[in-house]
Structure 1
Amino acid sequence: MSAIDQPWRIPYGVADFIKLREGHEYYVDKTRYLPLLEQAGRFLFLIRPRRFGKSLLQSVMEC
């Protein structure tokens, strides 16, 4: 089975965007929301459960 035929894995606990993309893992691109985050102000408090993509969001913004 080639890499193209393999199903996409759910990236549980992956916080590095580059590793996620190279690891053939499922990712929903939400970069269209970045301008809204930038307009929201200087201090943001992201209320999300553990292992829910907060660090991954930071990694996406860094890349």
Structure 2
Amino acid sequence: MDMNFRRYPIGIQNFELLRNDNYVYVDKTPLVYKLANTNTTYFLSRPRRFGK
């Protein structure tokens, strides 16, 4: 049974490498467009002490 697993792009900062070497990539462009172009208020939360 040949299972083709895709790797997570941990530490990869080169988009070309990410796309060409079979890493997992999720394009969320339509979601960002929808978020920016709707007339609704959004609350974007983050975990406590995020980025510290």
Give the TM-score, by structure 2 length.
0.49
Q: Greater helix share, 1 or 2?
A: 1
Higher relative contact order (CA 8 A, sep 6+): 1
Higher Cα Rg, which structure: 2
